[in-house]
Amino acid sequence: MFSSAVPNLTSLALSRRTALLGALGLLALPRTAFAASPSNSTVWPRALQVPGGVARLSLGPSAQRPVAHQGELPLLVIGDVIEWTALVGVALAAAPGEASISVQTPEDGLRQVRYTIAPKRYSEQQLKVSPRTVDLSPEDLARHERERAHQETVMATFSQPLPASLRMRVPVPGRKSSSFGLRRVFNGQARNPHSGMDIAAGTGTPVLAPLPGRVIDSGDYFFNGGTVWLDHGGGLLSMYCHLSAMDAQPGDLLPTSARLGAVGATGRVTGPHLHWGVMLNRTMVDPALFSA
């Protein structure tokens, strides 16, 4: 996995805190954007500034939580008046190179924070599935288009309160059978890269919520089969696909480790497993960055 050499976030935050506490209200610290070290296991999610990863961008101190956007999309901002951090999901389709977000604070007004997306090459996976799930009939294509339009409204969710914790427990025990970012080739036809983590487990194995969340969607979809979406706040969402049972309904509030469904083999699959997806600012990112 690619990582870049970066400053130590913990020591930097402590030095800033000490300086600020000793100077009562002095907010003249540098506002340099940097990625938190992936080796620092106390920081979640881990930073990995590549397509499909997460950028952790320092916004410096502010008396109020900064408002940050990437384009028109609101971003999750965490921290306190001494140090705020914007969490940015980097799309799998993002081109390596320079990128930026806009940030607004009472002290500085509107400004740009720049960061660099490093390249990452993902592996390729060949899969054999039912031909009807690759070459869609007019009826199946129309169904998929309706479902995609509905899912876009689900993925646009950005709610309060913000998540109190960002470390996720893995929702089901089992072997990771397909990694995030794999280039998928179904029956010899290339398709979009794999946008989640597949975990092999037997049909009926309970699937548990990795963080507190509100159920914002559940249903049976053409490709994803039985699916449940959770909203954790601030544009952080998670999805659970190919379920054989859905035990949570829209509006349900689930604590960590509450059962939301069971592993299955519904939708486009080659066998029973859980597809676990994590979305940040409407961008699917690697769930492994949020879990131990």
Both 64 and 157 in one domain: the answer is no
Within a domain: 268? yes
* Reported confidence tier of residue 70, pLDDT bands at 50, 70, 90: very high
Average pLDDT over residues 214-223: 95
Within a domain: 152? yes
Contact 61, 80 (CB under 8 A): no
Q: Is residue 284 predicted with pLDDT exceeding 60? A: yes
Q: In terms of DSSP H, where are the helices of the chain?
A: 9-21, 138-155
Within a domain: 185? yes
* Reported confidence tier of residue 223, pLDDT bands at 50, 70, 90: confident
Give me the pLDDT at residue 125, please. 61
Within a domain: 193? yes
pLDDT tens track for 149-199: 999 999 999 999 999 999 999 999 998 876 777 775 655 555 567 789 999
By residue range, what is the domain housing residue 244?
Answer: 124-290
Both 30 and 86 in one domain: the answer is yes
Give me the pLDDT at residue 126, please. 60
pTM: 0.81
The CATH number of whichever domain residue 219 belongs to comes to: 2.70.70.10
Contact 45, 173 (CB under 8 A): no
The CATH number of whichever domain residue 27 belongs to comes to: 2.60.40.1590
Both 263 and 140 in one domain: the answer is yes
Nearest to 232 by CA among 211, 218, 249, 251: 211
Within a domain: 95? yes
* Domain count across the chain: 2
Q: How many CB atoms lie within 10 A of CB 286?
A: 27
Q: Which of 68, 87, 117 is the last residue of a domain?
A: 117
* Reported confidence tier of residue 26, pLDDT bands at 50, 70, 90: very low
Distance CA 136, CA 238 (A): 27
Both 150 and 28 in one domain: the answer is no
pLDDT tens track for 71-119: 999 999 999 999 999 999 999 989 999 999 999 999 999 999 999 999 9
Average pLDDT over residues 17-25: 36
Contact 67, 113 (CB under 8 A): no
Within a domain: 201? yes
Both 258 and 220 in one domain: the answer is yes
* Reported confidence tier of residue 23, pLDDT bands at 50, 70, 90: very low
Q: Is residue 25 predicted with pLDDT exceeding 60? A: no
Average pLDDT of the chain to the nearest whole number:
83
Q: Is residue 63 predicted with pLDDT exceeding 70? A: yes
Within a domain: 2? no
Give me the pLDDT at residue 1, please. 30
Give me the pLDDT at residue 191, please. 57
| Percent of residues, the chain, with pLDDT higher than 70 | 77
